[in-house]
Structure formats: structure tokens, C-alpha cells
């Protein structure tokens, strides 16, 4: 910029000298000097405005990824957690699983983020939040808006980086869509022993990406740790998570006194034990633990071993144990448990082998043999599922990766539930191409 200014001054002086070489009028020279000064000052202002604009634009970051895929299932209309159920008349399909574009305005200690998802099904908002840190220690942060629920590991592990095509059945059931509307506090110390620990947690609407429906908020939080054991090429991460929330009983069946009925462990319970002011609500409670191990094997390459376990009480309906929203009819309160283990082995610089096992038991109080013993409340929503997934990933270049993955799904079988006398034909093979920028 200084060189440009100097060149402009010299250019104007040369032109002035040529124009007035034969004139010794002091007034004329003074006028020309004033013109030169004005030109330089104007150029300086323009440069400052341009620099301000460039600095602002540098704070805007645009990232994203697109996943195009082909899938084939064992049967037409297969019910699936590998990207949703198949059409009733098809056992294979093409589609764009995710088409994300993320806009971030990063001002060092504060950020604003908007992320959109565009597929053949339409365009929707995935993230819309602001966040900022304290300017002194940069240890405490606050996030507000729509963003990932701070529970466990798999929710916040980006779909662009995740080695399996989808999250486990456990997380898709308990946390559909991954996001919620709320406020979150982050504590990430940077010095001393506390630098190995972190906390994130806050209050959420409890309805996913939807507006509030009542005056109660849910608490979701995780206390985590990170142990970088670099001397032995090992790293350990993990955490403990808690979810405490409420579901409003708007359309539940009423007893003789007009109080909502809750089907708890499939015995008709009267809610008279609840306090009057909370009789319209039933609790949702999850407790979880997660652990990630990273190790660099000589010659072959690095590997990771990750696992999570969650148990608790889940309000659902008679036909589904998934996330329950107000206005969904009768409440079925089930004790559940589930876990997954995922092993990823790097093979050279471009290939990865993936093996994942996940298990979800929506009603851990009963087994398949308990069905049909006079308990009419038990149904398909109470059956346990186990999934074994095997895959191979090839990184074409820094932006493109190819994913080959096969999900083998096994469900509990019982003659007491129609359609579940034998194992469902719901295995799914996925071939995916991803471009990330």
C-alpha cells in the first residue's frame, strides 16, 4: 500500500512538473500541491475502506459436504435406520443423503453459524446459533440457538468425518436429528491439571428443532476428559453424560379422576403419586458413558476404538420407543439400555477398515419369552435389535472419499407379535461418494 501511494505522488509530481516547467507562479504551485495532497488522502481513505471490507470478508468461512449414495436392502419396503425406510415397492434406491453448506462468521472469541441441508427431499436448517467466549481466559463459553445436544460422543461427531454411514440405532432413537433449541455453557480450561477436563451442558426445549410447547426445559450435559499419552502414541478421551427432562401428557388416557394414565413397565399405574403441579408431565432420564482410544500401530497405521453405553427411562408410544412429543397419545414409559462399539483401522494413507456393533433394547425389563403371557401392552416397540456393520473407506483425494458398508440387523423374534415370528429381512448395503470442502 505504501509503494502504491509513493508511485501516485511521483506520478502527479511528474505531470505537474511537465505542465508548469516554464511557470514560476507560487500560487499555481500551491494549488497543485493541494490537489496532490487531496488525491493522496482520498486514495488513503479508499485503501482503508477496502482493507476494512477485506478483513470482514476474511472472517466469513463457507464449508460443506455432499453425500450421494446407492443402497440396496434385503426386501422391498424394508424398515431401516440406514437413512430411513425403503419405499414399499422398492428394495434399492438412489439419493442425496446429506447436502450441507455451513456459513460461519468467526470473530476470534465470538461466532455466528448457519448450516443448511439440501437434498432431493427439500432444504432445511440444521444449525442456527451464536457462541462467544470470555475475553480474558477464553475458558468459559456460551452457545445459544439450534445446535447439537451435548450428550456423549457420537452426536457431535460430524457425519462428514464419521466412518459409518449413519449413527447407531440407539442415538437415532433417543436423539433424532441430533439438534435441539437451547442454551449451552462450555468450560474448557487451558492450564494446569484442569486442561484435561471439560464440561458442556445447558437447558433445552426438549422438542428437537421445534418451538417450545410448555414451560419446562430439559437439562443435557457432559463432563469429559482428554488424556494425550504421546510418549506411547496413545490418546484416551471420554466422558459421562446426563439427560433429565419432561414430556407433557396432553392426549393421554385419563382415569376416573381426570388424571393422565402412564403405562409404566406395562402395569397400569395411577399418577396420584405425582405432585398436583407436575401431574401433566412424565420424566425422561438418560445416563451415559463414552470412551475413545486412539493408538498408532507401527507399519500398518493408526486405529481408534470407540464405545458408548446409555440406560434410563424413555417415554414413548405403544408402537414406538422413539423420541416422544406432546400430543402423541398415551405414554408408555420404558426402561431401556443400549451401547455400541466401533473399530476403525487405517491401512496406509488412503484406506480404512470399519467394524461396528450396536445394540438397543427399548424395554430392558422383558425378554422375547415374556411376550404373549397375558400382557397385552407388549409389542413390536419392545423388541431388542442388534446390528453388525462392516465397511471399507477409500480416500480418493483430500476432498473425495468412497464408502462401502454393509449393515446386518437382527431383531428379537416371538410368535406373539405379528410379523416378528422370524428375523426381518432388513440388511442394507450402502455405497456412498462424499465430497467435502
At 294 the pLDDT is 96
301: alpha, beta or left? (left if phi > 0; alpha if psi -120 to 50)? left
C-beta separation of 117 from 124 below 8 A: yes
C-beta separation of 138 from 109 below 8 A: yes
At 323 the pLDDT is 77
Q: E-assigned strands of 120-230? A: 122-133, 140-148, 179-187, 197-204, 218-229
Which phi and psi (to 5°) does residue 173 adopt?
A: -80, -45
Measure the CA–CA gap between 40 and 38, rounded to whole angstroms. Answer: 5
Q: How many CB atoms lie within 10 A of CB 333?
A: 20
Measure the CA–CA gap between 343 and 163, rounded to whole angstroms. Answer: 10
Closest CA to 174 of 201, 151, 143, 203: 151
User: 2-19 and 26-58 helices cross at what angle (nearest 10)?
Assistant: 160
Strand partners, 202: 184, 220
- In the three-class reduction of DSSP (H, G, I as helix; E, B as strand; rest coil), residue 43 is classed as helix
Q: E-assigned strands of 205-278? A: 218-229, 234-248, 262-264, 267-269
Tell the burial category of 290 from Cβ atoms under 10 Å away from its Cβ (0-12, 13-18, 19+): buried
The greatest distance separating any two alpha carbons of the chain, rounded to the nearest whole angstrom, comes to: 117
Measure the CA–CA gap between 42 and 129, rounded to whole angstroms. Answer: 40
C-beta separation of 115 from 159 below 8 A: no
Cell numbers 434406491 correspond to 93
Strand partners, 222: 200, 241
Q: How far is CA 158 from CA 150, 153, 226, 284, 411, in A?
A: 13, 10, 19, 26, 28
Asked whether the CA dihedral 208, 175, 248, 261 is positive or negative, the reply is positive
- In the three-class reduction of DSSP (H, G, I as helix; E, B as strand; rest coil), residue 6 is classed as helix
Which stretches of the chain score pLDDT less than 70?
1-25, 29, 33, 39-42, 45, 251-252, 264-279, 325-328, 374-376
C-beta separation of 289 from 240 below 8 A: yes
Measure the CA–CA gap between 307 and 343, rounded to whole angstroms. Answer: 9
C-beta separation of 113 from 129 below 8 A: yes
Q: How many CB atoms lie within 10 A of CB 294?
A: 17
At 278 the pLDDT is 43
At 262 the pLDDT is 73
**368-371: long-range contacts, CB 8 A cutoff, minimum separation 24:** 368/412, 368/413, 368/414, 369/414, 371/414, 371/416, 371/417
All residues at 6 or more sequence positions from 82 whose CB lies less than 8 Å from its CB, including other chains? 71, 165, 166, 407, 428, 430
Measure the CA–CA gap between 232 and 239, rounded to whole angstroms. Answer: 22
Q: What is the pLDDT of residues 283-323, one digit of tens each?
A: 899 999 999 999 988 778 899 999 999 999 998 888 888 87
At 274 the pLDDT is 36
Measure the CA–CA gap between 91 and 19, rounded to whole angstroms. Answer: 85
Strand partners, 263: 268, 332
Q: What is the pLDDT of residues 362-385, one digit of tens each?
A: 999 888 888 877 666 788 999 999
C-beta separation of 73 from 80 below 8 A: yes
Cα angle 162, 168, 174 (rounded to 5 degrees) comes to 120
Within the chain, how many helices (H) and strands (E) appear?
3, 18
Amino acid at each position: 500500500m505504501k509503494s502504491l501511494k509513493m508511485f501516485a505522488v511521483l506520478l502527479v509530481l511528474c505531470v505537474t512538473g511537465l505542465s508548469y516547467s516554464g511557470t514560476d507562479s507560487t500560487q499555481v504551485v500551491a494549488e497543485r500541491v493541494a490537489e496532490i495532497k487531496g488525491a493522496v488522502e482520498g486514495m488513503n481513505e479508499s485503501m482503508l475502506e477496502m482493507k476494512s471490507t477485506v478483513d470482514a470478508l476474511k472472517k466469513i468461512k463457507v464449508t460443506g459436504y455432499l453425500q450421494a449414495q446407492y443402497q440396496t436392502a434385503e426386501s422391498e419396503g424394508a424398515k431401516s435406520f440406514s437413512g430411513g425406510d425403503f419405499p414399499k415397492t422398492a428394495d434399492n434406491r438412489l439419493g442425496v443423503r446429506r447436502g450441507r453448506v455451513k456459513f460461519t462468521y468467526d470473530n476470534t472469541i465470538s461466532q455466528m453459524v448457519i448450516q443448511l441441508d439440501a437434498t432431493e427431499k427439500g432444504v432445511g436448517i440444521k444449525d442456527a446459533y451464536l457462541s462467544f467466549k470470555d475475553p480474558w481466559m477464553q475458558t468459559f463459553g456460551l452457545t445459544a440457538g439450534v445446535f447439537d445436544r451435548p450428550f456423549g460422543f457420537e452426536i457431535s461427531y460430524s457425519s462428514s468425518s464419521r466412518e459409518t454411514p449413519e449413527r447407531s440405532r440407539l442415538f437415532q432413537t433417543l436423539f433424532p436429528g441430533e439438534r435441539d433449541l437451547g442454551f449451552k455453557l462450555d468450560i474448557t480450561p487451558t492450564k494446569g491439571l484442569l486442561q484435561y477436563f471439560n464440561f458442556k451442558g445447558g437447558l433445552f426445549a426438549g422438542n428437537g428443532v421445534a418451538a417450545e410447547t410448555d414451560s419446562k426445559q430439559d437439562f443435557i450435559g457432559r463432563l469429559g476428559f482428554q488424556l494425550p499419552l504421546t510418549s506411547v502414541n496413545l490418546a484416551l478421551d471420554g466422558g459421562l453424560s446426563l439427560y433429565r427432562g419432561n414430556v407433557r401428557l396432553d392426549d393421554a388416557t385419563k382415569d376416573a379422576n381426570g388424571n393422565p394414565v402412564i403405562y409404566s413397565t406395562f402395569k397400569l399405574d395411577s399418577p396420584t403419586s405425582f405432585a398436583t403441579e407436575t401431574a401433566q408431565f412424565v420424566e425422561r432420564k438418560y445416563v451415559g458413558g463414552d470412551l475413545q482410544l486412539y493408538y498408532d500401530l507401527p507399519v500398518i497405521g493408526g486405529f481408534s476404538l470407540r464405545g458408548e453405553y446409555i440406560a434410563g427411562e424413555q417415554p414413548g408410544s405403544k408402537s414406538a420407543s422413539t423420541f416422544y412429543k406432546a400430543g402423541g397419545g398415551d405414554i408408555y414409559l420404558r426402561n431401556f439400555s443400549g451401547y455400541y462399539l466401533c473399530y476403525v483401522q487405517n491401512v496406509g494413507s488412503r484406506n480404512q477398515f470399519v467394524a461396528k456393533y450396536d445394540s438397543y433394547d427399548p424395554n430392558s425389563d422383558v425378554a422375547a419369552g415374556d411376550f404373549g403371557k397375558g400382557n397385552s401392552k407388549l409389542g413390536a416397540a419392545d423388541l431388542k435389535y442388534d446390528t453388525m456393520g462392516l465397511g471399507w473407506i477409500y480416500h480418493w483425494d483430500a476432498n473425495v472419499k468412497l464408502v462401502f458398508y454393509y449393515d446386518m440387523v437382527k431383531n428379537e423374534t416371538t410368535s406373539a407379535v405379528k410379523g416378528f415370528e422370524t428375523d426381518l429381512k432388513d440388511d442394507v448395503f450402502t455405497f456412498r461418494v462424499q465430497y467435502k470442502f
